[in-house]
Structures are given as C-alpha cells and as structure tokens.
A and B are shown apart, each in its own frame.
Chain A
Amino acid sequence: MTFDGSLIIDSLPRLMDGLWITLRLYVLALTCGTTLAIALVLMRISSKKYLSWPVMGYIYFFRGTPILVQLFIIYYGLPQLEFIRTGPLWTFFREPFFCAWFALTLNVAAYTAEIFRGGILGVNSGLVEASKALGMTYTQTFRKVTAPIAFKLSLPAYSNEMISVLKATALASTVTIFDVTGVARKIVAETFAPYEIFLSAAIIYLVLAWVIQNGVRHLERRISRYAN
C-alpha cells in the first residue's frame, strides 16, 4: 500500500461536518460538567456526612469505570428500564447525542470535582485564619479568598482534564454519532485507507488540543499577573 496524501486533503471537508458535532458535544459537556463539579466539590468538602458521602460514591463510580462502559449503560442499558422508555425522560434518552453528552458531563463533573478539591486543600491555612481574624464569615472567606486561589492552583490539572474530555468525545462514534471519529470511520470504509484518514482526524484533534492548551496558558498568565 502506498501513502496517498491527496486523500487527506479530500477528506478534510467531510471531517469538518463531524467537527461541528465534536465541538458542540465538547463545549456542552465541559461547561455543564464543570458547573456540576462546583456543586459537587462544595458537598464533598462539607463536614456533613450526608452531603459528602454520596459525592464520594459518585466520584468513585465515575472515576473507577471506563467512559465507554458508562456510555453503553446509558445508551443501551437505560432503555431496558420500562419507566425510562415510556416516561417523559425518553425524549432525552432517545437521542444518541444526549446520551453521549450525559455520559461525558457526569464524567467531567467527577474528575473536575476532585481537581477542585485538590486546589482547595492546597490553599494555605494561614490565609483562612487571617480572614477569620479580620472578621470575615466562612462564606465570605470561601468566596473571596479560598475559591480564587484554589482555582488558580487547579488550573494545570484542569487543563489536563479539558484535553482528556476532548479525546473522550471520540467515544460518541460508538453510539451512532457522526463526530470527527465517526465520519473518519465512514470514510475509511469507502476508501479502505485507514492510515491517511485517521491521520487527518488526528490532525484535527491536535489543532483543537493546541487551541485549548494555549487558551489555558493565557488564562494562567493572566490570573497570576500579580503573583511575582
């Protein structure tokens, strides 16, 4: 077999159709997951066990099982339950895109909650004590002191998660969705040239990863502009 570079050029426009779906899935899962993570981490660091324990279980489940398995449970497993298939939730779970978004969001939330928790634990306890000495309430301290510093500390690990999720969107192709990977598999089936086509798909992911990496780097530089 020979390498056919023109196939890469020819396949790019069609892969762009998939890119739109990949991007939509990615942005929605990342924003919703991160929002959910904030709620989860607040519960997780609470001293009340009825708040922290369920979150611990949730995080354990989603970090301890492959995303592919979770996606199959949501996509193929849930419709086996009568009340899902006949109930109002079916409007959502009927859609493959919703199932993929749902699985990714729950995943992002679990990982990001742990990342944020690490950030919060990393905040110097002296700062918290100083705030208390100034008469700030617990909530004020958390909002004005702990959270901003914790966010900055979490950023490197969070940017890692952002890139992981980008790559995880490729799993959507296993539940009938034509994202970048889904389209690539379809073109491979027509051209029988897996090398060239998957290479094109890889280039698209690399470009996206580059954008994310640089975005985070700018953000990091910006929020630490008073640090030194």
Chain B
Amino acid sequence: MKSIFGIALAAGMSLAILIAPAARAETIRVGTTCTYFPFNFKDSDGNLSGYDVDVANEVVKRIGAEIEFVCQAWDGLIPAILSEKFDLIVASMSITPDRQKKLDFSVPYRISEGRIIGRTDANHNLFNEDGTPIVEAFEGLRLGLPRSSVYDRWTDAFLPKVEILGYDSPDSMYLDLQNGRVDLIFTNPMKAHLSFLAADGIEGYEFVSPAINEQDYFGTGAGIALRKGNEDLQARLDEALVAMREDGTLDEFSLRYFPFTIYPE
C-alpha cells in the first residue's frame, strides 16, 4: 500500500514538473481561425502567417511576453475566449457594439468594411447614388455571406427581401458564386480582391456595392479582443498598437500582402 502511494506521489510530482512552464516569461495565448487568407492562414510550409498573425506576434513581443497560437473555427472564437481557452483574439474581428457587451477591444489595427460582389454581365443596379441599398432590387436574389458575421447582421437589418445563404468559409462562397448557386456575395473586399477578383482564371465579376461600413454594424475597425476586466493588458496592447502605427510597422505589414494600407487613419 505504501509503495503504491509512493509511486503515485512520484508520478504526480514528475507530472507537475512536466507541466510547469520552462521559462518564467508571461505566455499569451492568441486565438485565431488559421484559415483566413491573407489575414491568418497556414502557408505552404505549414507556418501560421498573415496580417493578423504579424500584428499579434509584434504586439506580444512589444509587451514582453511569449506567444502561443490556438486555431479555432470562427463561430467558436468568442465562446472559447470566454471560457478561457485563450487570452486574446486576433482574427480580423470587427469591434462592434454587440461584441463589446461581452468583450473588450484594443484600438483598431485594421479597417472593417464589406462590399458585395456580383457577375459583371448581370448589370446589377442595387444601390442609390448616396450609397444606400435599393431594397426592392434585391428581391428574388440570393446572397451568400459568412455565417455569424458583421455582414450577416447588416443584411438582416437592411436587405429584408434578399434570400440569405450562410457559409463557413469565403472560399466555398466564391465557388458557389462561380457555380451560380448565389447571385451575389457579401464579403471582405481586401480578401476578395486578393483571393478572388485578382486571382488567375477569374473573370466577369465585380464589386456591385460601395464600401459598406456603418459603424453600428462594422464597428470602428478590426481590433484585438480580450476578456473584460483586463484593463492593464488592454492598455499595454493599445500602447503597442499606437506605436506600431506611428513607426510604420503597420504600413510594412499591410504592404506584405496588399498593394495598399489597411489600417484606419
């Protein structure tokens, strides 16, 4: 009996040693989707890359901590951070009033807007001169959009007549637009430019809406999300992000992926 107890104790202790962090540095776990090119994605060598990832790495470095990424599907990100699976979300998440009820956000590090894409030859005329949607024009049209997104909420509010199809990934959305399953898609224009409109072999599609960015829905930009009650961490993140904007680091990161800069003025 004693020896069994001894073995159990030894096993417990060695386990404790294994689990204990090797270094004393603070480790910050960052949740992201790992599938959203060119913001957060695995490159051909399997390394996590993209604008969000660059920003996360740099910010965490500047506040003097170690970083650890956790890949999590988009619609589980907020539930996962609330149940402390990770400490920050850096996943192109727009700072919206709804999300701010549950989470705090850093200052924005990226603009947040959406645009609708359709076939060029369909000659869609869906928006007024002043950029407001013509509600009737959407009747009978099918609109694909990312499920659980700012696009979803905006469409629910402004386009009551359109038929909505909810997608889990932008790529299946582009595919269904090409296949003709949907007439329109509502998406991130920066990503759509790189992954779809400017991609090889894609012709005959264009933006059919102006930039849509009502603050109530699209927020003030995309920011780093953290659980409420971490004012100290939030202040450190903000300080680092403001410095990165001023010293040109965000310029550099933008231009790695886009021919233009993508952070708010």
A contact set with B: CB distance below 8 Å: 1, 76, 79, 85, 90, 94, 96, 174, 176, 178, 182, 185-186, 188-190, 192-194
Contact = CB atoms under 8 A, between A and B. Distances in A.
Interface of B: 75-76, 78-79, 82-83, 98-99, 102, 144, 147-149, 152-153, 165-168, 172, 175-176, 179-181
A182 B166 contact: yes
Nearest to A182: B166
B78 A192 contact: yes
A2 B198 CA distance: 46
Contacts of B152: 186, 189
B181 A79 contact: yes
Contacts of A90: 180
B167 A194 contact: no
A94 B181 CA distance: 5
Residue from the set B98, B149, B153, B176 with the largest chain A CB neighbour count within 10 Å = B176
B147 A186 contact: yes
A182 B152 CA distance: 13
23 contacts: A1-B82, A76-B175, A85-B179, A90-B180, A94-B179, A94-B180, A94-B181, A96-B165, A96-B181, A176-B165, A176-B167, A182-B166, A185-B75, A185-B148, A186-B147, A186-B166, A188-B79, A188-B148, A189-B148, A189-B149, A190-B153, A192-B99, A194-B76
A185 B181 CA distance: 22
B147 A85 contact: no
A186 B148 contact: yes
Contact of A190 (B98, B165, B176): B98
Contacts of B181: 79, 94, 96
B165 A189 contact: no
Nearest to B173: A176
Residue from the set A176, A182, A194 with the largest chain B CB neighbour count within 10 Å = A176
A189 B147 contact: yes
Contact of B166 (A76, A94, A176, A188): A176
A194 B79 contact: yes
A188 B147 CA distance: 11
